[in-house]
Every structure is written in C-alpha cells, then in structure tokens.
Amino acid sequence: MPRQPRGGICVEHLGVEADKVTEDASFIDDLGADSLDIVELVMAFEEEFGVEIPDDAAEKITTVKDAITYIDEHKG
C-alpha cells in the first residue's frame, strides 16, 4: 500500500485542509480533534507506519511534530 502524502492521515481523519497540517499544529487546538479522533489517528499512524504506539506514549503525542518524532524514532 502506498504511503499517504505528508499530512494525509490528518486530512483524511480530521477533514482539515492540508495547509493547516504543520509540524507545530496541535491535534486538538489547531486541527479540531477530539479524544476519539486522537485514538483513530494513533491507530492510523500504527497501521500506516508499522509502529506500535502504547497508550502512555499516545497521551504525549499532542502535535504533528510529536507524532513525526515518535514514528521516526520507533519505525522498523
């Protein structure tokens, strides 16, 4: 399966414009995510990038940059 373009998962799951998905964007404050959206995003990141994100780590992922950093540090 081809990878989504940068920000594609956020655009798809949150229905936001791609230009709003910046590294500094907060999933909740800037992209309008709620707690269910966050769970779905984490699951999508796990599937797309082949990483496992435990609950304690997921709670610390609040911005796009946090997600990128975690994925980069943990992908196989």
Residue-wise pLDDT tens digits, 8-55:
999 999 999 999 999 999 999 999 999 999 999 999 999 999 999 999
Q: Where are the domains of the chain?
A: 6-74
Whether 24 sits among the annotated catalytic residues: the reply is no
CATH H superfamily, domain 6-74: ACP-like (1.10.1200.10)
1, pLDDT greater than 70 = no
pLDDT class of 6 with cuts at 50, 70, 90: low
What is the reported pLDDT for 75?
86
* Catalytic residue (one of 34, 37, 55, 66): 34
| Helix, strand, coil abundance in the chain, percent, nearest 5 | 55, 5, 45
- For tokens 């989504």, what's the residue? 4
73, pLDDT greater than 70 = yes
pLDDT class of 4 with cuts at 50, 70, 90: low
